[in-house]
Chains A and B, each alone.
Chain A
Amino acid sequence: MSLLAEKTPARTYAAHAKPWWQRTLMTRDAAIIALLVVVWTYASIVILNFSDPITVYFLVLDVTPILLIALPMTLIIITGEIDLSVASVVGLSSVLFGVLHREGVPMVAAMVLALLACAVAGAFNGVLVTRFGLPSLAVTIGTMALFRGIAVGALGTTAITDWPDAWGDLVQARIGDSQIPLMTVPLVALIVIFAVVLHFTPFGRGIFAAGLSKDAARFSGVNVDRTKLILFTLSGLVSGLAGIYFTLRYGSARGDNATGLELQVVAAVLLGGVSIFGGRGAIPGVIAGVVLIGTIGSALRLDGLSANIIQIITGVLLIAAVIAASVLGWTGRIVGTYRRQHSSDEPSSKQSPQRKRSE
């Protein structure tokens, strides 16, 4: 908090002193998107086959689960909370879907029931966080084990692999003759919905407000608890969707599906410029973050590098991205102080008269 308070004056000053195009281009979002463009260009030139449409096809299919879950995760982290149970909900969804299918429930009904259960699982997190006032980090570490345990407990080490081909084909289908997966359509629709809700609605402004200051948000009429409850429920629902996608794409319902995915999602979201302190972040940056991680993965794989190097690079990028933010903060403050001391026509600031006298 004290950190934020310190930063604000320099930031506001710097932001208003610059023309709009500089303000747009100097954001974290723009930086990460620029990095993505650089990596894409480089990979297309240097790595054989990277610019093939088929690469893009597999890239989209591979990043879909992370992209899906990253959307509600972004909103949750902006409110200052976190949901580590998402990957376990993926497993839960997969197992429920599988078991219902095995018991002869029609596909669509099985899907809906599994999604409902996942929404309930998400709401359970939300209730523990909002009604009981518990820290979401601790709660979701608990439910991460709980949901995964239920998923693994229900199926053991067996897998349900008996799926109608038509559904698997649908998930992997392309649009017409292009190499664009059909899944892109609902995916883009979801991205647009989340972006509009977060950036253009009162509910979205409430999310930012809740993350910046819970009390201030409450006083200005935002129902912080309800907002968080909705977000956690949404996170469960979307993770359930990812679970169904996972199941159909690989034709296998397993309790241990998507183990460890939660950390990848959090890494992608933070890489996309969302502040872990809450209150800052945007959907375009997050999409770029997810695609960046996916691109580096597939580019390096095509280049013959091992998955381990990708893991190392992911970690380094994550740390570099968050540290860059605070380093930029320092330089911003230093530049701000410098300008305040050296400009004579600066709009009146409380500190400037004293400073001038001392000079």
Chain B
Amino acid sequence: MTTTLDAPAPAAPQPRHRAANRLTWLLKQRETGIAVAFVALLVVTTAVNPNFLFSTDGWRDLTLTPAILVCLAIGQAMVIVTRNVDLSVGSTLGLTAYLAGRLFLDTGLPVIVVVLIAVAAGAVLGLINGVLVAFAKVPALVITLGTLYIYRGIMLEWAGSDRINASDIPPGLLDFGTGSFLFIPNLAWISFALLAAAIYLMRSTRVGREFYAIGSDPAAATLYGLRDKRRVLQAFATSGALAGLAGILYVSRYGTISSGVGQGIELEAVGAAVVGGVAIFGGSGTVLGAALGAYLLTTINRALPVLGIPDFWQQAVVGALIIGAIVLDRYFARRQHDKLLAEREES
């Protein structure tokens, strides 16, 4: 966010005016609010305990812990923008993580091949959601609730009572998961790269713009001739592939895969998107906002004990935050609506 502000404005007739415009534009963005909340949380917590940010572990955790959720939140934001929702991502994450573990255990496939297989498997699982949603004319909430049970059930049935331990995972992958490059953990780099790609996709490509078009008015998008089914399939497949990747990230970071991997994380992903200003009715919001939401939610989790609040209360804070975010979002949307109406009256 700050980079846009600091970047020298290209030679313009009225540079001062332009900078002021930029500032008001920035202040109006939904993402700004969430970024400010995040920075405030960091400042307060670090003031209480400087180790929170300035110790090696603190700095590492700040960027490492949210990486997996950011992955899921990006996919979730894309799906929600098309006026759908993907509740199955937690199960997809669990299933692909176990698939990867099994491949490491049973075959000698190179790590990169296993990664590709896991991502592809995630994409296929997402595609199944997409096909069911696009062709059955049933809300995604119901379909992905069903696949949440199915994917988790398949994983549990397959895994039985065994769990995969760190000793079964290639050390190279584990080193990658815990390692860092230029003081930033590798997994964080991956999430940044994904975020950059997703921002580009959603802002500047036809696919992304059509996601928004379909989400803001599905009937109009169909009448206009957008291939809505194909786009919905793409959104779900992307969300699934990202969940597959998140499964690999999980394996590389934690090393062990038990039956509960990713359970309930789908609601955190939806929560991150909602807190980040992605409207649940589709058509608005950004992947950057969703990612910031993921950062805020995971960082609160770590900040509470530092602030002297037992982390049992973390969920309550997260809940209050989600509610606050949607109330605020509604308030701003209504104010914007009133302003537009007033402008129309004047003209």
Q: Does B146 contact A (CB under 8 A)?
A: yes
Q: Are B270 and A149 in contact (CB under 8 A)?
A: no
Q: Are A146 and B319 in contact (CB under 8 A)?
A: yes
Q: Does B48 contact A (CB under 8 A)?
A: no
* Complex alpha-carbon distance, A180 and B68, angstroms: 49
Q: Are B150 and A316 in contact (CB under 8 A)?
A: yes
- Of the 9-residue stretches B15-23, B38-46, B310-318, which lies at the interface with chain A? B310-318
Which residues in chain B, 86-133, are within 8 Å of chain A measured between CB atoms?
Answer: 87, 132
Q: Are A326 and B138 in contact (CB under 8 A)?
A: yes
Instruction: Type the 1/0 row for B23-67, where 1 means its CB is closer than 8 Å to any CB of A.
Output: 000000000000000000000000000000000000000000000
Q: Does A128 contact B (CB under 8 A)?
A: yes
Q: Are A267 and B145 in contact (CB under 8 A)?
A: yes
Number of interchain pairs (Cβ within 8 Å): 150
Q: Is the interface of B mostly helix, strand, loop or mixed?
A: helix
Q: Does A276 contact B (CB under 8 A)?
A: yes
Q: Does A147 contact B (CB under 8 A)?
A: yes
Q: Are B132 and A319 in contact (CB under 8 A)?
A: yes
* Complex alpha-carbon distance, A312 and B322, angstroms: 31
Which residues in chain A, 125-157, are within 8 Å of chain B measured between CB atoms?
Answer: 128, 132-135, 137-139, 141-150, 152-153, 156-157
* Complex alpha-carbon distance, A147 and B267, angstroms: 14
Closest to B316 in A: A149
Q: Are A312 and B315 in contact (CB under 8 A)?
A: no
Instruction: Type the 1/0 row for B140-151, where 1 means its CB is closer than 8 Å to any CB of A.
Output: 011101111110
Q: Are A153 and B312 in contact (CB under 8 A)?
A: yes
Instruction: Type the 1/0 row for A252-267, where 1 means its CB is closer than 8 Å to any CB of B.
Output: 0001000110010011
Which residues in chain A, 68-122, are within 8 Å of chain B measured between CB atoms?
Answer: 82
Q: Are A316 and B142 in contact (CB under 8 A)?
A: no
Give, as a whole number of angstroms, the nearest-CB distance from B109 to chain A.
26
**What residues on A are CB-neighbors of B332 within 8 Å?**
none
Q: Are B136 and A312 in contact (CB under 8 A)?
A: no
Q: Does B177 contact A (CB under 8 A)?
A: no
A128-B323, A144-B267, A263-B145 given; A308·B153 CB < 8 A: yes
Q: Does B156 contact A (CB under 8 A)?
A: yes
Q: Does A53 contact B (CB under 8 A)?
A: no
Q: Are A132 and B319 in contact (CB under 8 A)?
A: no
Q: Are A153 and B156 in contact (CB under 8 A)?
A: no
**What residues on A are CB-neighbors of B157 within 8 Å?**
306, 308-309, 312
Give, as a whole number of angstroms, the nearest-CB distance from A166 to chain B.
31
Q: Does B137 contact A (CB under 8 A)?
A: yes
Give, as a whole number of angstroms, the nearest-CB distance from A56 to chain B.
25
Closest to B268 in A: A145
Q: Are B153 and A145 in contact (CB under 8 A)?
A: no
Q: Are B150 and A145 in contact (CB under 8 A)?
A: no
Which residues in chain A, 223-273, are within 8 Å of chain B measured between CB atoms?
Answer: 255, 259-260, 263, 266-267, 270
**What residues on A are CB-neighbors of B149 within 8 Å?**
263, 267, 311-312, 314-315, 318
* Complex alpha-carbon distance, A133 and B136, angstroms: 29
* Complex alpha-carbon distance, A319 and B136, angstroms: 10
Q: Does B253 contact A (CB under 8 A)?
A: no
**What residues on A are CB-neighbors of B319 within 8 Å?**
142-149
Q: Does B219 contact A (CB under 8 A)?
A: yes
Q: Does B154 contact A (CB under 8 A)?
A: yes
**What residues on A are CB-neighbors of B132 within 8 Å?**
319, 323
Number of interface residues of B (CB under 8 A): 44
* Complex alpha-carbon distance, A270 and B314, angstroms: 32
Q: Is the interface of A mostly helix, strand, loop or mixed?
A: helix
A128-B323, A153-B312, A312-B157 given; A133·B138 CB < 8 A: no
Which residues in chain B, 257-303, are within 8 Å of chain A measured between CB atoms?
Answer: 264, 267, 270-271, 274, 280-281
Instruction: Type the 1/0 row for B166-200, where 1 means its CB is closer than 8 Å to any CB of A.
Output: 00000000000000000000000000000000000
**What residues on B are CB-neighbors of A133 within 8 Å?**
330
The one of B141, B310, B320, B330 in contact with A137, judged by C-beta atoms closer than 8 angstroms, is B141
Q: Does A322 contact B (CB under 8 A)?
A: yes
Q: Are B310 and A153 in contact (CB under 8 A)?
A: yes
Q: Are A318 and B146 in contact (CB under 8 A)?
A: yes
A145-B318, A319-B147 given; A308·B137 CB < 8 A: no
Q: Does B326 contact A (CB under 8 A)?
A: yes
Q: Does A45 contact B (CB under 8 A)?
A: no
**What residues on A are CB-neighbors of B310 within 8 Å?**
153, 156
**What residues on B are CB-neighbors of A2 within 8 Å?**
219
**What residues on A are CB-neighbors of B154 within 8 Å?**
308, 312
Q: Does A277 contact B (CB under 8 A)?
A: yes
Q: Does B231 contact A (CB under 8 A)?
A: no
Q: Are A315 and B147 in contact (CB under 8 A)?
A: yes
Give, as a whole number of angstroms, the nearest-CB distance from A144 to chain B.
7
* Complex alpha-carbon distance, A308 and B132, angstroms: 22
**What residues on A are CB-neighbors of B312 within 8 Å?**
149, 152-153, 156-157, 255
**What residues on A are CB-neighbors of B315 within 8 Å?**
145-146, 148-149, 152-153
Q: Are B145 and A326 in contact (CB under 8 A)?
A: no
**What residues on A are CB-neighbors of B323 within 8 Å?**
128, 139, 142-143, 146
Which residues in chain A, 30-79, are within 8 Å of chain B measured between CB atoms?
Answer: none
**What residues on B are CB-neighbors of A189 within 8 Å?**
none
* Complex alpha-carbon distance, A279 and B310, angstroms: 44
What 4 pairs between A and B have smallest CB-CB spacing? Answer: A149-B316, A146-B319, A149-B315, A315-B149
Given contacts A276-B139, A311-B149, A319-B143, 5 further A-B contacts (CB under 8 A): A137-B141, A147-B319, A149-B314, A149-B318, A156-B312
What would 12 A/B residue contacts be, using CB atoms closer than 8 Å? Answer: A132-B327, A139-B323, A141-B271, A142-B322, A144-B267, A146-B315, A149-B316, A276-B142, A308-B154, A311-B149, A319-B147, A319-B150
**A residues lining the B interface (CB < 8 Å):** 2-3, 82, 128, 132-135, 137-139, 141-150, 152-153, 156-157, 255, 259-260, 263, 266-267, 270, 276-277, 306-316, 318-319, 322-323, 325-327
